[in-house]
Amino acid sequence: MNIVVLDGYTLNPGDLTWKDLEALGPCTVHDRSAPEAVVPRAKDAEIILTNKTVLSSDTIKQLPKLKYIGVLATGYNIVDIEAARHKNIPVTNVPTYSTQSVAQIVFAHLLNFAHHTAHHAQTVRSGRWTSSPDFCYWDTPLIELAGLTMGIIGFGRIGRATAKLSIAFGMNVIFYDIAKSSSIPEGCQPAGIDDIFRTSDVISLHCPLTSETKKIINRERLEMMKKTAFLINTSRGPLVDEQALADALNNNRIAGAGLDVLSEEPPGENNPLMKARNCCITPHIAWATIAARKRLLRVAVDNVASFLAGKPQNVVNGVKTKDVR
Ligand code: NAD
């Protein structure tokens, strides 16, 4: 079966290999595909892999040979899964490849706020320590994490991994989740959402983007936060009302924000957070450690192999079996 990868570049910019996928059938890998290129490129494909290239109902209808869609990510909102189900096309995702990497970047942001390591190292490099009258100096408040309260919103896989790291740093952990937790790790306490905002020194977002969680960080909730508190968002940009957050940062309403995601990616120049005070933005890299991308590619290839063997795995649209002959 013909395999077409529509946008392979971010998963494999050259440091991984497609050979295991190529072993499964004739395979064409495109770095990225503009919307108008999708149908011409995929018209002979039985198997399509996509990361962020949209496969709408209209596009799926124009691909009569299509038998399988593999999403190269956990979130699959870019595929019209109902339109695929209607045509008995299984859509698969890769559920858990980046949990530890995402939890890790929460602390990359948090430790950056605690010590501003890169900033201080830059002042040393530019000669300031050499000419300092004292044996040390610092430009920003230096913060010890032990004893602070980490408030986690969304206590699933990444939320729990973040809790574990927080406990290792000596932080107290409170969490809010709409689902009742069957097991609560030692050192973690459930809390109401308003309590999370009022009492946390750090709030870290780990819930998915849904109609309920859109703008879960808004003006009213930012008003509830401690002036010394930090917000970390590694989940999805639209969880945050970006103008409200920019105002809260610029008005010293909260201490800082570490963001790996924005509402529009790549962001427009006018995004109010781009120049907000003490706002540190990384370009959606939490998932992209080499270890996580290796796991992602491995599972994506296994998903295709399982489909070809007639037993599709990690199916997200309820299409369980498919005659592949
Ligand atoms: P998960 O499904 O294991 O956990 C999500 C948790 O959020 C669940 O426990 C769920 O009950 C809870 N939740 C749902 N709605 C809620 C609400 N209204 N309020 C509070 N909690 C709610 O998912 P995960 O693997 O932990 O991933 C979490 C999110 O991380 C994903 O949805 C994705 O958006 C994001 N993510 C980002 C990156 C990145 O590169 N930045 C990578 C992977 C995942």
- Which residues touch 153 (CB under 8 Å, ≥6 apart)? 159, 175, 176, 177, 193, 196, 203, 204, 205, 206, 207, 216
* Amino acid (1-letter code) at residue 27: C
Domain ranges of the chain: 3-97+290-308, 99-281
Calpha distance 225→29 (Å, rounded):
47
Could you tell me the pTM of the whole model? 0.93
- Ligand 1 centroid distance, CA of 201 (Å): 21
Which is the CATH superfamily of the domain at 99-281? NAD(P)-binding Rossmann-like Domain (3.40.50.720)
CA angle 165/75/7 to nearest 5° reads 115
Residue 68 CB–ligand 1 contact under 6 Å: no
Ligand 1 atom closest to the CA of 176, numbered from 1 = 20
Cα(241)–Cα(219) distance, integer angstroms? 8
Residues 6+ apart with CB under 8 A from 134: none
Distance CA 229, CA 39 (A): 48
Q: What is the reported pLDDT for 321?
A: 65
Interval between CA 75 and ligand 1 midpoint (Å): 10
Q: What are phi and psi of 231, to 5 degrees?
A: -115, 130
Q: Which fold has domain 3-97+290-308?
A: Rossmann fold (3.40.50)
Closest atom of ligand 1 to CA, residue 261: 41
Distance from Cα 95 to the centre of ligand 1, integer Å:
11
Ligand 1 close to Cβ of residue 287 (< 6 A): yes
Asked if residue 151 has its Cβ within 6 Å of ligand 1, the reply is no
Find the 317 Cα to ligand 1 centroid distance in Å.
Answer: 19
Contact between residue 236 and residue 229 where contact means Cβ atoms under 8 Å apart: no
Return the CA Rg of the chain.
Answer: 22
C-beta separation of 6 from 30 below 8 A: yes
Do 99-281 and 3-97+290-308 have the same topology in CATH?
Answer: yes
Active site residues: 236, 265, 284
In terms of phi and psi (left: phi > 0; alpha: psi -120 to 50; beta: otherwise), the region of 284 is left
285 CA: nearest ligand 1 atom: 40
pLDDT in tens, the chain (325 residues): 999 999 999 999 999 999 999 999 999 999 999 999 999 999 999 999 999 999 999 999 999 999 999 999 998 989 999 999 999 999 999 999 999 999 999 999 999 999 999 999 999 999 999 999 999 999 999 999 999 999 999 999 999 999 999 999 999 999 999 999 889 999 999 999 999 999 999 999 999 999 999 999 999 999 999 999 999 999 999 999 999 999 999 999 999 999 999 999 999 999 999 999 999 999 999 999 999 999 999 999 999 999 999 999 999 999 976 445 4
For the beta carbon of residue 161, count every other beta carbon within 10 angstroms: 18
